Amino acid sequence: MARRPATGQVAVVASGDSLDWKGISAKEITQRVTSRVQPGSIILFHNAAKHTPEALPGILECLISKGYQIVPISHLIYGGTYNVDYTIDHTGKQFAVKGNASGSPSSESPASSK
């Protein structure tokens, strides 16, 4: 993630792709997403993909049953100053700088996790 200070916009990059845009079946989308998700995952879905609406209820049910929380992206974004309040690792995930609570996002961690 990268923050554009002048506009306040945040660029968010998905850590997983459902590949729903390829026209694969709802079952394939569900299998792909649920087998690859991990704490902190941001999964890319496409608005116009044919089978995504059919796949989403099963994906959500599966992930929730495994203890994942589905949260808005705003809950995953730390505020504050880079390297003071938060840092970003090589995968693009943000992490709070230890001992600095002012940079924490709305949720406990930068992950929709268990």
Model pLDDT for residues 77-113, shown as the tens digit of each residue: 877 888 888 888 887 778 888 876 554 454 444 444 4
pLDDT, tens digit (0-9, with 9 covering 90-100), for 28-87: 999 999 999 998 888 999 988 999 999 999 999 999 999 999 988 888 787 788 888 888
Residues making up the chain, counted from first to last: 114
Task: Please tell me the distance from the alpha carbon of residue 2 to that of residue 16, in angstroms, as a whole number.
Answer: 18
Q: Give the per-residue pLDDT at 69.
A: 92
5: tokens are 């200070």
Q: Has this prediction a pTM greater than 0.85?
A: no
Query: How many other C-beta atoms can be found within 10 angstroms of the C-beta atom of residue 34?
Result: 18
Q: Give the per-residue pLDDT at 113.
A: 42
Q: Which amino acid, 56? A: L
Average pLDDT over residues 9-25: 89
Task: Kindly state the helix (H) or strand (E) to which residue 95 belongs, with its residue range.
Answer: strand 94-96
Mention every residue, 6+ apart, whose C-beta is less than 8 A from residue 29: 18, 19, 20, 51, 52, 55, 59
